[in-house]
Structure 1
Amino acid sequence: MPTTDFAPERRRMLTMLGTGAAVAGLGALASATPATAAHATASASEELSTASYGSGSGAGSGPAGSAEDELAIHRLLETYLFAVDTKDKTVFRTLFTDDATLTVMAHPDGTAGIVKSGIEAVVANLDGAAAWGYSTHVTANAHVRVTGRYTATGDSHATAQLVYPATATAPETVVVRGIRYRDEYVKSAGVWKIRKRVFSPLWQYNGTAVQIAYPN
């Protein structure tokens, strides 16, 4: 019968196609499902929205959410605190995108605050560090989530010790402050930078500084 004669021929055709072609066929079938189509659309949208940041050497290398990306962002957080303590505007400038925004003195829930828009306004905010003589910022904990090839978010805590010089009415004072940073990052030319940062002081206490007795 025709159906009986066709079966061996069909088996021979499948054998000729081989495993690689069969796998490709399954991939094509999977790509036609609604869930996969939605995922592809979301990925394309992400690529378009971050295209201006993803260009350049090394951009987008490695899988999204790789340990390498997370480590790079943790280093970014540490470098930020170092630049603040050393009052180094040159380093500070390299940590932000040109269109970055920095919100300072936001409420603990991240609302309100004073917004600095654009790289020049963000860098100028470091002038406020002149109010204290010395400072030490220490990262307490940080939760970093890489959301795409060129995008990530972060929520971190730090402790700041700020030494304010003596005045005519007050001795040298140490201000100890708990801080929370809510961030958005982008990968630009293979380097992670801060595109948005919201700085919220959470708690604070003050004390009188004690002079260090150096041996010579």
Structure 2
Amino acid sequence: MPTTDFVPERRRMLTMLGTGAAVAGLGALASTAPATAASTAVSSEELSTASYGPGPAGSAEDELAINRLLETYLFAVDTKDKTVFRTLFTDDAVLTVMAHPDGTAGIVKSGIEAVVANLDGAAAWGYSTHVTANALVRVTGRYTATGDSHATAQLVYPATATAPETVVVRGIRYRDEYVKSAGVWKIRKRVFSPLWQYNGTAVPINYPN
């Protein structure tokens, strides 16, 4: 019958078409594979680029790491931990303190030793609590980023012969430049600007024991 006679022929044609499509598909894949490999390969020149060299924008993980860096900085200040504080800056770091609100002027500390020594100023207060208010981090390259963040600081100054224990509450702005070296983000430049401040008399805490 015509219908039954057509079935084997149709199967043969479909098989040929399927085989041809498969071969064509493999050919297309083979022709595109080298281009894909070339686009994802890392050149020896890129691998040898210095840590401060240019590169494509970083990932969300980089932004998260930098925000962690900001938090660790505040923790090191509150605990007066120079060991941790030192790890947050590059050896050629520049720290400007007490800059105007627009980021100009201020006192400049250049080099890691001068930057770490600036933490000695924390000895003026007994306790402190620094809290990040907000932060805007921009990863500008594979190894570079900038940051603009705000924080509030509560500084408790001990009583003196002429004044009671005092709490100083201060608003702070940090303008930063970061670099990624050996897979770790560090601060290369920081400008610290106090924006506002008010003082109050500390209230003693009544501990149960």
| TM-score normalised by structure 1 residue count | 0.74
**Percent identity at matched positions?**
94
Q: Which runs of 5+ in 1 are unaligned?
A: 54-59
RMSD across aligned C-alpha pairs, in angstroms? 7.7
| Shift of residue 9, structure 1, vs aligned partner | 32
Q: More displaced, 60-69 or 14-23?
A: 14-23
SS of structure 2 residue aligned to 1:32: helix
Q: More displaced, 143-152 or 17-26?
A: 17-26
Alpha-carbon separation, structure 2, partners of 1:153 and 1:114: 21
Q: Which is higher, the Rg of structure 1 or of structure 2?
A: 2
CA gap 1:149/1:62 in 2 versus in 1, 3 angstroms: closer
Q: Is the 8 A contact 2:98 2:194 kept in 1?
A: yes
CA gap 1:211/1:147 in 2 versus in 1, 3 angstroms: same
CA gap 1:105/1:68 in 2 versus in 1, 3 angstroms: same
CA gap 1:26/1:123 in 2 versus in 1, 3 angstroms: farther
| Shift of residue 6, structure 1, vs aligned partner | 39
| Shift of residue 51, structure 1, vs aligned partner | 1.4
CA gap 1:190/1:108 in 2 versus in 1, 3 angstroms: same
Q: Say whether residues 1:161 and 2:160 are aligned partners.
A: no
Q: Is the 8 A contact 1:145 1:152 kept in 2?
A: yes
Cα distance per residue 1:121-154 (max 9 Å; x no partner): 0000000000000000000000000000000000
CA gap 1:62/1:51 in 2 versus in 1, 3 angstroms: closer
Cα distance per residue 1:33-63 (max 9 Å; x no partner): 999999x99999997997144xxxxxx9996
| Shift of residue 98, structure 1, vs aligned partner | 0.1
Q: More displaced, 17-26 or 187-196?
A: 17-26
Q: Is the 8 A contact 2:51 2:180 kept in 1?
A: no
CA gap 1:166/1:63 in 2 versus in 1, 3 angstroms: same
Q: Which runs of 5+ in 2 are unaligned?
A: none
Alpha-carbon separation, structure 2, partners of 1:5 and 1:41: 53
